[in-house]
Amino acid sequence: MQKIIDRFISYVIIDTESDPNSDTTPSTAKQWDLANKLVEELKAMGMQDVTIDENAYIMATLPSNVVHEVPTIGFVSHFDTTPDFTGKDVNPQIIENYDGKDIVLNAEQNIILSPSYFEDLLLYKGQTLITTDGTTLLGADDKAGITEIMTAMEHLINHPEIKHGTIRVGFTPDEEIGRGAHKFDVEKFGADWAYTMDGSQIGELEYENFNAAGAKIIFKGKSVHPGYAKGKMINSMLLASQFISKLPENEVPEKTTGYEGFFHVHHLTGTLEETVLELIIRDHDKDIFEARKELIYKMAAEINYHYAQQFGEDICIAEINDQYYNMKEKVTPVFHIVEIAEKAMMELGIEPLIKPIRGGTDGSQLSYKGLPCPNIFAGGHNFHGKYEYVPVESMVKATEVIVKIAELTAQK
């Protein structure tokens, strides 16, 4: 446990926030700080073929120690953290033997991590938790996954009596801004299949995820002196507000669960003459996903039709770009890779929680690039904010799952 704690903290104190407005890979130069550290650690522990390319994609190999033919498997995690909440100056707190009560993250600002609001905390009573200090995120998404992969590889190297085939390790930048797999060289990676260590609660095993798109809608207005504006002024901010009000009110993240999709408005900026609305569209069902996109276009068209005579041009411009698709289509034909992970958990006394991902991982894009890649728990909770925490025992179990998968895959 102490080795995992020390390793994890050494990663999260390095700021690796990604930037969606950057056109470089990685999107921020500071991601190189952790990337270079990981390369040196991989080499020091004895991994082979350790490489880092010009875009900070890291790959390494643990050679097979069996004589019979075994599929090459991979384990993948990302080292960036979300731009939605600061990951600078992370100051982790260690709570030993958690008593099931409120945890004061920051007394000065009265920031409390409470099981009355975050009920999952009670699952970990008596365990060791790592939390934030209430001013930053923690970075368990996905530095917990990196910690687990690194620790598992080190364990296999130090215990050659554990039989395994060739294992490939991959660490990526920019997953949090949807680009983690964009420049991942699947052919170079050379695995028959892989697992992302990027889930949450202990036991999670996921091979379904949302179909995802991002929408940007620009509203154009017309500025006229307010005293003489009747029949002439068009307020782009009010147009955006009206547009939002016409979206299905119950199809938002805070009112949906399971397989239910949603529209999520996440940015709105504007002036009287131009307002930009950004939202994401999510659904597990491909047909409903397409219908959601069509709804956006239809709403934009209705605005343009209404104002066509007055404005003389389109005043509502909708741009929608697909981001990733449901990996189920690519994983189902090779479902034994899910069954191996499920068996590994059961042999370790972990109850598998097979459920759809209400989001996406590198695994979804990798699956469509030819590398089937289900997702396994990394242990963290409340990602992307100051209430993030991870039980150390969950990271230990995730490490054991990696080792067990390697063992099971190598069995004749």
Active-site residue set: 80, 175
| Closest-CA residue to 74 (of 352, 353, 341) | 341
| Distance of alpha carbon 158 from alpha carbon 166, whole angstroms | 16
| Closest-CA residue to 381 (of 132, 69, 40) | 132
| Distance of alpha carbon 58 from alpha carbon 79, whole angstroms | 10
**Strands, sheet with 274-283, edge to edge from the N-terminal-most edge strand:** 262-270, 274-283, 211-220, 316-324
Do residues 268 and 278 touch, judged by C-beta distance below 8 A?
yes
Do residues 374 and 209 touch, judged by C-beta distance below 8 A?
no
Do residues 229 and 219 touch, judged by C-beta distance below 8 A?
no
For residue 142, cis peptide bond before it (omega within 30 degrees of 0): yes
| Closest-CA residue to 195 (of 77, 75, 330, 372) | 75
DSSP strand E in 11-72: where?
Answer: 48-52, 58-62
Exposed (0-12), middle (13-18) or buried (19+): which is 93, by Cβ within 10 Å? middle
Beta-bridge mates of residue 102: none
Distance from the Cα of residue 312 to its chain's centroid: 43
For residue 26, cis peptide bond before it (omega within 30 degrees of 0): yes
Residue 367 token pair: 């699956």
Residue 207 token pair: 């091979």
What is the residue-wise DSSP string for 75-99? EEEE--B-TTS--TT---EEE-S--
| Distance of alpha carbon 151 from alpha carbon 108, whole angstroms | 36
